[in-house]
Chain A
Amino acid sequence: MSEPIIQMKNIEKHFGSVIALNGVSLDVLPGECHCLLGDNGAGKSTFIKTMSGVHRATRGEIFFEGKPLDFARPRDAIAAGIATVYQDLAMIPLMSVSRNFFMGNEPLKKVAGISFFDHDHANEVTVQEMKSMGINLRGPDQAVGTLSGGERQTVAIARAVYFGAKILILDEPTSALGVRQTSNVLATVDRVRNKGIAVVFITHNVRHALAVGDRFTVLNRGKTLGTANRGEITPEELQDLMAGGQQLATLEGSLGGTV
């Protein structure tokens, strides 16, 4: 088995007197889809923000490709190859797809010693990358605001992959999507994983997790409740873990296993 690309050991994060994370451990292998499950407020978002350099852990260790690591800024994490696609997508609706695609990583060309934004290159790459993800743009200057939620998700994923992400963190990518858009995004996740990129997939939807996940880690009240491999755990068990071991059985009975 290959070495984990990132290891998070006993991560703690305190915000003033609030303990958001109280000892969370997780490791991610290249080319796997590691699902991070948890109910609202379990600390999923805080945890991935620690992984992507937005927050600094109060306590705990992070090893990236075997070396200890301490990101001061999100830019450091991005440079190291940790890309995050947030729930709110980090896309700017008023800007064109190609401006969004290269935001923060603008391609430059020098004219008379001055660096300019290389729009031709940016447009060409954007159209090509979108096509490879199955989206036909009207044009690279189309505003992101005109794309559907699933398409925006795909743009964000394509962007991360294009810029050499080794770890792709997806924060609830399917929570606001319809059925067909969800399956598109899940297919994209599969495509990305097959390129050898590690995917951390955050969700509270057990069915979406089981559809693509290789391993599953459950967070509850700022703690990990262990990691399970694919095939070793049933949807019911995952659901119970997310609820903190409380039996959802009675409720589940009346809902017919649809939660």
Chain B
Amino acid sequence: MSDQSAAVADEDERIKEVSNLRKAMIRPELGSICGTILVFVFFLLVARDSGMFAADGILNWGIVSAQFAIIAVGACLLMIAGEFDLSVGSMIGFSGIVIALMSVTWGFPMWVAIITAFTVAMAIGWLNGYLVIKTGLPSFIVTLAFLYILRGLTIFAATAATNKTIIGGVREVAKGDWLAAVFGGKIFAGLFVWLAELGVVETFVAGTRKGQPVIDGIPMLIVWALGLIIFAHIVLTRTQFGNWIYASGGDAQAARYTGVPVNRVKIMMFVFTAFCATVFATCQVMEFGSAAADRGLLKEFEAIISVVIGGALLTGGYGSVIGAALGALIFGVVQQGLFFAGVESSLFRVFLGAILLLAVILNTYIRRMITGEK
């Protein structure tokens, strides 16, 4: 008996052994990992023969997922830092129009237009953050104001300058521009030709591109998405700044006491969100060859939903970039999968609402488990 008590002297008798299952459960990504598996199993069963999992099918939902992921990464870090940005969607429309106006209408080189769009958008992101910090108002209200201000300005600028809300002809201006290629180009084209020769990737059997592989490269959009996910994940989990992001959202006052520059962290996250929105906008403008004043509608909510599915708490201080990325993947797969499966696409919104509700309930439960509340 005494031997036994000596052996466990290092252990606290009041602490129960925690099972690995429970440990796994309190990871923020858990919900989104389960969701991803579920979604893939579902569509493998339902839409297997529709071409959804052929090379071009994968690219199809890969692009849509990447779009969600780019804005979700920004929204994720911002939400962990304890704030929201509802102006993301309007920012996408705004940045796109800035690029098209500058390059097509006013004849600046494409790279000048893109850099200007990034500068202006990030300045507005900074203003968002500055106003939230200075006024102490909820970011919900401040960025809601910018949702309307930016959308209105975008439509006004486009119609005042061109009498249209859609500005085309971007592709012609972008041709040969080094910076445009960073957003609109494709990489690994050679790889797919080689894969097509091996027969791994199908080739077009008719038309002008007969004999070419159905995929002519990985779009830069996907490269940006992966790059941003990896960058944000490393910053959040492996750096000092990441700890400050968690701390700022977990309890801003407590963080300030220990010397964390909370205001700077939060404002930087607003700027980063604006950066991500502009990456999205630039890729989209390059892909479509046009900008439209109504682009990005409701994107702010889709970003936030991806983040919440990824296990982040709406109240801040907890979450995961990998989770948010998986949330975006679930989004992309379901949105395109319903199309492949031939299901009425309006049901996608029903799915969105339902999965959002489920995710929030699960997150609240997990939070109680972490903090030991009942």
Q: Which of A's residues lie within 8 Å of B, judged by CB?
A: 54, 73-75, 78, 84, 86, 88-95, 99, 102-106, 108, 115-117, 119, 136, 138, 143, 145-146
Known A116-B239, A136-B15: A104·B259 in contact at CB below 8 Å: yes
Across the interface, do A91 and B254 meet the contact criterion of CB distance under 8 Å? yes
15 contacts between A and B (CB under 8 A): A74-B256, A74-B257, A75-B259, A86-B257, A92-B250, A93-B371, A94-B318, A104-B247, A104-B260, A108-B240, A117-B239, A119-B238, A136-B15, A138-B15, A146-B370
Kindly state whether residue B207 has any CB partner on chain A within 8 Å. Answer: no
Kindly state whether residue B253 has any CB partner on chain A within 8 Å. Answer: yes
Task: Look across to chain A and name the residue whose beta carbon is closest to the beta carbon of B246.
Answer: A95
- A173–chain B nearest beta-carbon distance, Å: 14
Out of B18, B239, B318, name the residue touching A115 (CB < 8 Å).
Answer: B239
- A138–chain B nearest beta-carbon distance, Å: 5
- A75 CA to B370 CA, complexed, in Å: 30
Kindly state whether residue B172 has any CB partner on chain A within 8 Å. Answer: no
Known A106-B240, A117-B239, A143-B370: A92·B253 in contact at CB below 8 Å: no
Residues of B within 8 A of A92 (CB): 246-247, 250-251, 254-255, 317
Across the interface, do A103 and B247 meet the contact criterion of CB distance under 8 Å? yes
Known: A93-B251, A106-B243, A116-B238. 18 other contacts (CB 8 A): A78-B258, A78-B259, A84-B257, A86-B257, A90-B251, A90-B253, A90-B254, A92-B246, A94-B246, A95-B246, A95-B250, A103-B243, A103-B260, A104-B258, A108-B240, A117-B237, A136-B11, A143-B372
- A21 CA to B10 CA, complexed, in Å: 48
Q: Mark B245-280, 1 if CB is under 8 A from A, else 0.
A: 011001101111111100000000000000000000
Residues of A within 8 A of B255 (CB): 90, 92, 103-104
Which 6 interchain pairs have the tightest Cβ spacing? Answer: A145-B371, A92-B250, A104-B258, A106-B240, A146-B372, A75-B259
- A92 CA to B253 CA, complexed, in Å: 10
- A74–chain B nearest beta-carbon distance, Å: 6
Residues of A within 8 A of B260 (CB): 103-104
Q: Count of B residues near A, CB < 8 Å?
A: 32
Main secondary structure of the interface of A (DSSP, over half): loop
Residues of B within 8 A of A95 (CB): 246-247, 250, 317
Out of B11, B15, B370, name the residue touching A145 (CB < 8 Å).
Answer: B370
Out of A90, A99, A143, name the residue touching B257 (CB < 8 Å).
Answer: A90
Q: Mark B360-374, 1 if CB is under 8 A from A, else 0.
A: 000000010011110
- A62 CA to B31 CA, complexed, in Å: 54
- A200 CA to B92 CA, complexed, in Å: 53
Task: Look across to chain B and name the residue whose beta carbon is closest to the beta carbon of A108.
Answer: B240
Residues of B within 8 A of A94 (CB): 246, 250, 313, 317-318, 367, 370-371
Q: Which of B's residues lie within 8 Å of A, judged by CB?
A: 10-12, 15, 18, 237-240, 242-244, 246-247, 250-251, 253-260, 313, 317-318, 367, 370-373
Listed residue (B246, B251, B254, B373) with the most chain A CB atoms within 10 angstroms of its CB: B254
Task: Look across to chain A and name the residue whose beta carbon is closest to the beta carbon of B12.
Answer: A136
Residues of B within 8 A of A115 (CB): 239-240
Residues of B within 8 A of A74 (CB): 256-257, 259
- A136 CA to B238 CA, complexed, in Å: 25
- A245 CA to B24 CA, complexed, in Å: 59
- A52 CA to B10 CA, complexed, in Å: 37
- A119 CA to B236 CA, complexed, in Å: 13
Across the interface, do B243 and A117 meet the contact criterion of CB distance under 8 Å? yes
Across the interface, do A117 and B242 meet the contact criterion of CB distance under 8 Å? yes
Residues of A within 8 A of B256 (CB): 74
Residues of B within 8 A of A54 (CB): 257
- A86 CA to B254 CA, complexed, in Å: 9
Residues of A within 8 A of B237 (CB): 117
- B17–chain A nearest beta-carbon distance, Å: 9
- A69–chain B nearest beta-carbon distance, Å: 17
Across the interface, do A88 and B243 meet the contact criterion of CB distance under 8 Å? no
- B364–chain A nearest beta-carbon distance, Å: 13
Task: Look across to chain A and name the residue whose beta carbon is closest to the beta carbon of B234.
Answer: A116
Residues of B within 8 A of A90 (CB): 251, 253-255, 257-258
Task: Look across to chain B and name the residue whose beta carbon is closest to the beta carbon of A122.
Answer: B243
Residues of A within 8 A of B367 (CB): 94
- A164–chain B nearest beta-carbon distance, Å: 14
- A104 CA to B254 CA, complexed, in Å: 11
Listed residue (A94, A102, A116, A117) with the most chain B CB atoms within 10 angstroms of its CB: A94
Residues of B within 8 A of A103 (CB): 243, 247, 255, 258, 260
Listed residue (B242, B317, B370) with the most chain A CB atoms within 10 angstroms of its CB: B370
Residues of B within 8 A of A136 (CB): 10-12, 15
Residues of A within 8 A of B243 (CB): 99, 102-103, 106, 117
Residues of B within 8 A of A75 (CB): 259
Residues of B within 8 A of A99 (CB): 243, 246-247
